[in-house]
Homo-oligomer: A and B are copies of this chain.
Amino acid sequence: MPKVRLAMAQTNPIVGDISGNLAQTIAAIDSAAALGANLVVFGEMNLTGYPIEDLAARESFITAAELAVADLAKHLQDGKYADLAVVIGHPSRAELKKGWSIAHNSATAIIGGQITGRYAKHHLPNYSVFDEYRNFVPGNSTFSFEFQGMRFSVLICEDIWQDGGPVAELSALDTDVTLVLNGSPFEVSKDDVRLKLVVDLAKAQGTAVAYVNLVGGQDDLVFDGNSIFVDSTGGLIARADQFATDLTIVEILDKATAISQATSPLAQAPDLEQVWNALVLGLRDYVAKNGFKSVVLGLSGGIDSAVCAAIAADAIGAENVFGVSMPSIYSSDHSRSDAEDLAHRIGCHYRTEAIGKLVDAFETQMDLGGLASENLQARMRGVILMALSNAEGHLTLTTGNKTELAVGYSTIYGDSVGGFAPIKDVEKTMVWKLANWRNDLATAKRETPPIPENSISKPPSAELRPDQVDQDSLPEYEVLDALLDAYVERRLGRVQIIAEGFDAQMVDRIIGLVDRAEWKRRQGAIGPKITGMAFGRDRRLPITNKFR
């Protein structure tokens, strides 16, 4: 009777920190062994982090990755690992180069300290945020190995999202269990797609499937973990934690029979909860992995900055969040009181830096007016936040949402300053939903709801001139977000959007705004992708572009 105790090791590597990732890998192996596991499988590129982008084209990087694999194998030659099999992900040197690509995206099996074999990813995603056809040489063979009387085949991520290639040969290889190493970023509702994909694969090829995903934030991506094990009948046996490192143990009796030792629920959390947790993890890891300890952000009393502050407090602790109210002569009383209320509710640092005298100094010297004056106010605030960042070492957060970013409703070098944009990929209507969801969570836990009710209910305003509200110049947000969904996410053209029932004049105006704001978006901070089409490397358009 075969006895395989599989550990799905959901680690959170840092890109380029090869020694740190190696140590994390060894620690996970030791923890897995202590739990009785004899097969430990990691996510895609767990040794180097993922995605490595053009680091893939550096000889020195590939050499370092190869050395780490050799170091790990050597480490595992210690007798205590004699009966242990490990499958790790890393780049490896390709024998034949393709363009400037010199590496494969690989997985290596190490059994009892011996490198048993290696697989090179066959299907290289080169759409959305992925540039793998740029960075890697595709593999062209299958890889299986025997362990404890069972046959394991190895695949990597995109391999199971495309037809053909190694995924079609699993059955022919007599595979008992397919081990899939993944670097699959979070998107709302994406997880259900993954589960369906894995179940269909298990049934089609008659193999159990261990789908092991990375976890953690890496620049604009959030890997959500949520690894799954499905038996060869398509039954979901185990699901690992989402948005946390995890070791999930599955006892595999045969391909159709496995017993989970996992404590995480098999069902998915609701969408808003997943989005909130993705945003929290994305921010937390950007802060930590880039050596920051704290963040600073402007608190306007509005919903966007309130939600960003609450995310930041959840991510790194309120004691590391520095909120700044920066009122002007146009600021309403509630903008100050709501900002202060938020800070009290969260328990973050709070100070006031009025911009009146700073604006006056410029206006006295330069005699501005109109748009220049409005932007000046936003830029004074940007300078204040960056001065505090420089003086005190905080990461500056910029609090713009996706809707704002789409239509360019922000001041470049003003409210857009910062190294990270927590709600960059969250449309305005979802910002409100997240605020309500987070407050409801607090209520359910008998905690103080972090976001002032007034920040949720009042009409949004940039407060750059008297009595200004967003809807002076923009459609209602429900309409605007629906229109943007058609133009940005679904890539529809003018005629198609109008055919969906939107007012033609509004369509022309809004898509013109979106296109003309491209130069600003290009200079914007990164932030966590949570949708199927985020601004940034997910959507690459020319700045110089007259197509409407």
Contacts and interface: CB of A to CB of B under 8 A. Distances in A.
Contact of A290 (B51, B53, B353, B544): B544
Contacts of A383: 362, 376, 379-380, 383, 413
- Most chain B CB atoms below 10 A, which of A54, A219, A493, A547: A547
Given A491-B58, A495-B60, A542 B52 contact: yes
Within the oligomer, what is the number of copies of this chain? 2
A547 B391 contact: no
Nearest to A411: B386
A369 B391 contact: yes
Interface residues on A, range: 35 or more
A61 interface: yes
A506 B276 CA distance: 43
Nearest to A533: B54
Interface string A41-59: 0000000000111110111
Given A366-B384, A523-B525, A290 B15 contact: no
B358 A372 contact: no
A390 B372 contact: yes
Contacts of A101: 127
A386 B391 contact: no
Contact of A361 (B53, B127, B358): B358
5 closest A-B pairs by beta carbon, nearest first, are: A60-B493, A16-B547, A17-B546, A372-B390, A361-B361
Given A17-B546, A58-B491, A357-B364, 9 more contacts: A15-B544, A15-B547, A54-B541, A55-B545, A60-B495, A126-B133, A219-B542, A357-B361, A375-B386
18 contacts: A17-B546, A17-B547, A53-B541, A53-B542, A54-B540, A55-B541, A58-B491, A59-B496, A126-B134, A219-B543, A219-B544, A286-B544, A369-B391, A370-B391, A371-B391, A383-B383, A413-B413, A413-B417
